Structure 1
Amino acid sequence: MSLQLVLAQVLLLVLGVIGVGTARPDLIVDHGSKAVLALGLTFLLSRFKPKFFTSVALLGFLVCIALLILVLFVGEGGEWGGGKRWLDFGGPLRFQPSEFIKLALVLQLASFFARRGVAKKLISATAMIMLSTVLVLVEPDVGSTVLIFSLGLVLMFAAGVKFTSIGGFVAALGLLALPFASNYLERHPYITERFFGHVAELKDTNTKEATQIDLAHRDMTQGGLYGRGPDGPKYSLPAGHTDMVIASVAFSTGLLGVVTVIFAYWLIVQSGLSVAELAGRIRPMTPEIHAASIMAVGAMFMIVAQAFVNLAVAVGLFPVTGVPLSLVSYGFSSLLSKSVALAVMHSSIREIHAHLGLTKSGKKERKFEPVPAPAD
């Protein structure tokens, strides 16, 4: 396993337990036990080869699509415009299918491009991306929709699809979506209200009513450099254990904790990009190596892009989206899907290192030839 990824996951999980415990002490045991379970799952699944993940990709993708369709009829959750985002079958069987479709899309597109190449047959790949995106969009969940669509584009680029082809796809899609955009925004007015409300807040910094982001900023400021501990007095912060968990982390551990969170995500980014760079050295590139490279980059983007959006909301750059902080926020759906994504990265790294003859430290193994015995 990659020690770099293990360190990143452990740091994020520990800080997540601290943040959740700060905002909701009653949930610390629940979240802590799920964090340990997620870490164990990463260790277990990381032992499989990339071929295993590609072999189950299509089945996983079809199951996730079926769950996304099901959530439109019997789903529960968001109150914004009658949104339905969760499936609840009782007990622990409550989950958010939009979290798992991201991982399923990573595996399926990696399998598809590795088998069929990128020169032709892009219609099937774009159809898979659009099907996933549209089903989440109509829930509605705009934050996850943007992330899934962006993930699809990154996977196409990682697979080797030409940038001009990706640009043409985006342009054509934009033109096709224009006639439906106004009707969609009319049916879900909370989207424009939230956007223009955020813009108004940016322009008018003297508003008397404290917003969720204002309260988050207060908690962050109260934390100082080293934090005030989970039991310190703080402001009541809505979603302090979920969407705004970074404010709870900052309050408890201070700037040091926030920097540690960013450092952990940087480790994940560096790991994903290094895998892609190493895979580029292998000639000829086999379908297994191609799939491993795509999966590593996709899993990395899936984790870090979501974290970027969450942090951007917390500091006030983006309007509130409801996107959790990867591997930190309370919520088993996100925690589980991101932990499996890390297992995919571990598997891909090991496969590519094996083909290049690299050790765990990333250095080439030295092969010694036997010294011939001296002649009589």
Structure 2
Amino acid sequence: MSIQLLIAQVLLLLLGLMGVAAARPDLIMDHGLKALLALAATFIVARMHPRTFMKHGLSFWLVTLVLLVLVLFIGVGTAESSGTRRWLPLGPLKFQPSELAKLGLILQLASFFSRRGVQNKLLSATAMIIVTTALIILEPDLGTSVLTFSLGIVLMFAAGVRISNIAGFMLALGLLSLPVIGRYLETHPYIMERWTGHATRGDVPQPGLDQIGLAHRDLTFGGWWGHGPDGLRYQYFAAHTDMVVAAIGFTTGLLGVMMLLFAYWLIVQSSLQVGQLAARIRPMTPEVHGASILATGCMYMIVGQAFVNLLVAAGIFPVTGVPLPLVSYGFSSMLTMSAALGIIHSCMRTVREQLPDEATNPDLLAVPAD
């Protein structure tokens, strides 16, 4: 297993424990148990082979689609969710199928492109991305649907689809979807209210009454070193979920926030290394190609969502409702992201095993292959 990835995961889980302890001390034991289960899931998934993920990619993806359909009929929401249905009840627990759907799309597209290549196969891949995204939009969950759609684009690029083809696909889809977008925004007016409210926040002298303003105050009070898990200065409903970075900043200060960013950077660096090493294997087998796509997709699923969450906490994006991966309270996201890390571990091991001896020298990675 990759030591860098393990360090990143443990660091994120520990920071999440400190953030939840400051925001909701009553949930710390529950969150700690879920963090241990998530870490165990990473070790279990890491022992599998990328061939297994791609073999069952279609089945897994279809199951996630069924779950997304079910959530439209029997799903539940929360008091703060504006009437949306995003969770399936499982006894005393609730599970968010959209988190699994992102992972299912990664497995299916990696399997599809590794088996069939990228020439003249874009229509089927496009349909997979659109179907998955559309079902998430219907919940409605605009933030997750945008992340899912962008994930599909990244997977296309990682598979080797030409930029011109991707750009043409996005342009055509954007033009065709304009009437649907207009109707969607009319049906769900709270989405525009969030955007317009976000745009006018700068005109308010003291925006501290909203949760982003309160999160900013907690970050400011954290200073360089933080105040420890003694409880936040202000209380707001998303302090342990979407705005957990504010709790981390209050508890550990700027040092903790920098450690958070460093952990995500380690995930990016490790995942990109899989692609760099895979490019040195000649000929590139479908298995190696698929492993490279899997690693890139899983990396983007984690770090892309973290990027959006942090921009929301910084006040650059309006509230989207996406958790901070491996940090926020909530088992659906934590378990899925931990499984994604396990897949990256598996892909790293497989690619290293197939490298020629001379390619394992790190000094040679920067030298273009002949």
| TM-score between the two structures when normalised by the length of structure 2 | 0.95
Paired position in structure 1 for 2:29 = 29
Q: Distance in 2 between matches of 1:253 and 1:83?
A: 34
Kindly state the Cα deviation for residue 258 of structure 1 after the two structures are TM-superposed: 0.3
Q: Distance in 1 between matches of 2:357 and 2:214?
A: 49
Question: What is the total number of aligned residue pairs between the two structures?
Answer: 363
- State the SS of the aligned residue for 2:252: helix
* Alignment gaps of 5+ in structure 2: 364-370
Paired position in structure 1 for 2:177 = 177
Q: Which range is displaced more, 228-237 or 270-279? A: 228-237
* Alignment gaps of 5+ in structure 1: 365-376
Q: Distance in 2 between matches of 1:183 and 1:350?
A: 47
Query: Which 4+ runs in 1 deviate beyond 2 A?
Result: 78-82, 361-364
| Residue pair 2:241, 2:329 contacting (<8 A) in 1 also | yes
Kindly state the Cα deviation for residue 207 of structure 1 after the two structures are TM-superposed: 4.2
Paired position in structure 1 for 2:159 = 159
Paired position in structure 1 for 2:88 = 87
| Residue 241 in structure 1 maps to residue 240 in structure 2 | yes
Paired position in structure 1 for 2:331 = 332
| Residue 223 in structure 1 maps to residue 215 in structure 2 | no
Q: Distance in 2 between matches of 1:358 and 1:257?
A: 39
Q: Distance in 2 between matches of 1:285 and 1:177?
A: 37
Whichever residue aligns with residue 263 of structure 2, its letter is A
Q: Distance in 2 between matches of 1:80 and 1:26?
A: 22
Paired position in structure 2 for 1:270 = 269
Superposed CA offset, 1:224-255 (max 9, x none): 11110111551113211000000001111111
The Cα RMSD (Å) is 1.8
Q: 1:208 to 1:38 in 2, by over 3 A?
A: closer
| TM-score between the two structures when normalised by the length of structure 1 | 0.93
Kindly state the Cα deviation for residue 205 of structure 1 after the two structures are TM-superposed: 3.9
- State the SS of the aligned residue for 1:88: strand
Superposed CA offset, 1:76-114 (max 9, x none): 11555521100002123x200011111111111000000
Paired position in structure 1 for 2:353 = 354
| Residue pair 2:12, 2:327 contacting (<8 A) in 1 also | yes
Q: Distance in 2 between matches of 1:131 and 1:59?
A: 15
Mapping 1:290-309, distance limit 5 Å: 290-309=289-308
Paired position in structure 2 for 1:143 = 143
Kindly state the Cα deviation for residue 58 of structure 1 after the two structures are TM-superposed: 1.0
Whichever residue aligns with residue 260 of structure 2, its letter is V
Paired position in structure 2 for 1:286 = 285
Q: Distance in 1 between matches of 2:91 and 2:54?
A: 31
Q: Distance in 2 between matches of 1:253 and 1:316?
A: 20
Paired position in structure 2 for 1:210 = 209
Identity %: 59
| Residue pair 1:201, 1:207 contacting (<8 A) in 2 also | no
Q: Which range is displaced more, 10-19 or 236-245? A: 236-245
| Residue pair 2:23, 2:232 contacting (<8 A) in 1 also | no
Q: Distance in 1 between matches of 2:44 and 2:314?
A: 36
Q: Distance in 1 between matches of 2:154 and 2:255?
A: 31
Whichever residue aligns with residue 50 of structure 2, its letter is P
Q: 1:38 to 1:80 in 2, by over 3 A?
A: closer
| Residue pair 1:213, 1:316 contacting (<8 A) in 2 also | yes
Q: 1:233 to 1:12 in 2, by over 3 A?
A: closer
Superposed CA offset, 1:195-228 (max 9, x none): 00000003x1414662111100111111111110
Mark the structure with the bigger radius of gyration.
1
Whichever residue aligns with residue 45 of structure 2, its letter is L
